[in-house]
Amino acid sequence: TGLFLQDGKDKSEFREERAKQAEQAKIRAAMKQRESKRLRQAQQIQRELQELEVKQAEVEKDGVVIEKAIRSGELSKSEEQKMMMEWFKIINRKNAMIRYESELVIHANYIQLEDQQGRLEQEIRELLMKEGKRDQIDIQLKTKELVDIVGQRNNLVELLDEDRKREQEEDKAFESMLAAKGK
């Protein structure tokens, strides 16, 4: 029971190593927690996509019924105009659902990239604990891959922003068209 333990390490080296191991354990636990959260988010997105598919089918059916009524030629001019307005509203709802679906898919891709990023970060941390030329090469490769993933995530965020701006413009144009048709 001197200053050295069985494997030749002194107590301070032993404590330092134990502290590093404890820190790594905390990091792994936090990563697992984030991974679980991403899994729950991905499952929620999947449920929403399934619900959206059902709603889209319902809206599609409603649109077909209205379109048949309009094309039948059996409606008065005022009834036809009301049906046209309803048909435009259905098209707008359908477009909103398509937009939302696109947003969900982008969000799912973002979550997938977050997951890849988390795994890469952990691999890099583990490689940093080792020391060797091969490990340094692996660190460089994984760091490059990490930068690529961050770039892809940024691109998805930019895509969402662009889509939202475009959608706002489309909504304004649709509202203007409805206002003009309503007169």
Domain boundaries, the chain: 13-182
Helix (H, G, I), strand (E, B) or coil at 176: helix
The candidate with the shortest Cα–Cα distance to 116, out of 38, 175, 16, is 38
User: b/e per residue, 46-58, with b = 16+ CB within 10 A?
Assistant: eebeeeeeeebee
pLDDT in tens, the chain (183 residues): 444 555 556 778 778 888 888 888 888 899 899 999 999 999 999 999 999 999 999 999 999 999 999 999 898 999 999 999 999 999 999 999 999 999 999 999 999 999 999 999 988 888 887 777 777 888 899 999 999 999 999 999 999 999 999 989 988 888 888 788 765
User: Do residues 66 and 79 make contact, with C-beta atoms less than 8 angstroms apart?
Assistant: no
